[in-house]
Structures are given as C-alpha cells and as structure tokens.
Amino acid sequence: MGKYAVLLSAGPDRTGSALNGVEYALRLADGGHDVRVYLDGRATRWPGELATRADHPLRDGLDRAVSGETSVAACAYCAAAFDAETGCHAEGIPLLGTAGEEHGPDVAALVDDGYELLTMS
C-alpha cells in the first residue's frame, strides 16, 4: 500500500479545494493506504470555522478524518499566524512546529519516510 501526506492549504474561502483534499484522503485511507492530513496556511482556520457551522459540507469529512485511520495535524506556525490555535486545540488537532518560529510538518522527513506529497490549495 502507498503512503500519502495531504497538505491542505485551502482555507474557508476555498471550500471546494478543501472538500476535495479531505475526500481524497478518506478514499485513500478507505483503500488501505497510510494517509496523513496536514492543515497548513489558511486551512488551519477550518477547525474553528467548523465549530460554529455544524451543517457545513466539510464538517462530516473532517470529523471522519480525525476520528478514523487518517492522522490529522496542523502547522503551529500557521495556526498562530491565522489566529487558529484555539480551534485546532478544541477539535483535538495537534500542532506541529513552533508558533512564530518553525513550520510543520517536516516535508523532507515525510518524503524520506516514503510519503508522497499531495498538495491542495
């Protein structure tokens, strides 16, 4: 089976791209692949946005990703920059890197570990 890291940078202003990224991740995971989803840039705003919009089309997919066999994390640097840390924490999404200092995830390490990077913006 394959290993995929979905780097999602599409924020609340790009719902279609965000929906596609989460759907691709879920389908890959359902197919038995090792999948990780990383919220980057404006996408770190999704957890806080969805907390106030239970009927949003992305809500179900992100909930399935977080509670299923897909690993979901967010960039701490970006979450701080976009004032999204509280939303990520409230949804149980870990922050990678260091706010104001270092982006996460380490994409070079992911590639070294055999993950194919899929970017969605």
The CATH number of the domain where 69 resides is what? Answer: 3.40.1260.10
How many domains are there within the chain? 1
% of residues, the chain, pLDDT over 70: 100
Phi/psi region, residue 81 (left: phi>0; alpha: psi -120 to 50; beta: rest), is alpha
Condensed to tens digits (0 to 9), the pLDDT of residues 9-33 reads 999 999 999 999 999 999 999 999 9
Joined together, the tokens standing for residue 79 give 């979450």
Averaged over 45-64, what is the pLDDT?
91
- The whole domain housing 29 covers 3-120
Does the pLDDT of residue 118 top 90, yes or no? Answer: yes
Phi/psi region, residue 41 (left: phi>0; alpha: psi -120 to 50; beta: rest), is left
